[in-house]
Structure formats: structure tokens, C-alpha cells
Amino acid sequence: MTATLSTAQRILMAYGMASLLVGFVLGMALSSERMAAPSASRHLVTAHLSAIMQGTMHLALVVAVGYSTLGAGIESLGAALLAIGSALFVAGTIANWRQRIGDHFAERSLGWKLLAASSAGHLAGLGIVAVGVAAELVTA
């Protein structure tokens, strides 16, 4: 079955699948840590769960963006910003885990910087997608 997807939907689908893959690979690392110790790094747990949740969210947004009334270019921008924000978030949690950071707020670690940067993409991208979908809901 071949579906006709917009560029925005393709961006969201590609990132969603990649994020799920990363999340499951991180799950194997989490299992490995738990086999060796009674607990695992909270940053690894966060990386694992956020990658899976964000992957699922991006796949769901494929459907939502299909209802958007915005132009293809702005929809693609919104999708790209969301994917970039999500990738920065997961990268930040992975960086904190790999660098064995305790309190990333206190240490202002690389992970903290990536996490902070992720909010711009998330907020702008979600704002664009939300406006496009809301416009369709209001006019329907």
C-alpha cells in the first residue's frame, strides 16, 4: 500500500520511526545496566522513555498534519522544527547519561544545553502544527 504523504508527514514519520529505533536500542542499554545494578541512570531512563514517547507522538502527528490547512512549506517547517527539538531532547538526555552527569541544571552540562535548545524547536513546531490543525477544526 502506498499512501500519498506530504513532506511534513514524511518528516514526522521518518523521525518517529528513527526515534522508536533509538528508544528500543536505549532499552537494551537500560536492561544491561539493570542486570549489573539495582538501579539505572535516571538520564538513561529518561532518554529511553522520551525517545519512545516522542517517536509515538511524531507518528500520531502524521495524521494530525494531514488535516492542517496551512501551506506545504509552513507545515514542513513545523514538522522539521518538531523533529529537531525532539532530537535535541533525546541527544541531551543521552549526553547526560554518557557523561555521568548528576544534576544537569547545577552543572550546566552539554546535555542541559541540548535540552534547553530543544524547547525552541518543540514550541515553534507544535505552534505551527496546532494552528494548522485548529484552523481546520474551526472551519469544519
Q: How would you write the pLDDT of the chain (140 residues) with one tens digit per residue?
A: 467 999 999 999 999 999 999 999 999 999 999 999 999 999 999 999 999 999 999 999 999 999 999 999 999 999 999 999 999 999 999 999 999 999 999 999 999 999 999 999 999 999 999 999 999 889 86
- Angle, CA 85 vertex, CA 79 and CA 90 arms, to 5°: 125
Q: In the chain, what are the domains? A: 7-135 (1.20.120)
Give long-range contacts, CB 8 A cutoff, 24+ apart: 135-139: 135/68, 135/69, 135/70, 136/67, 136/68, 136/69, 137/67, 139/69
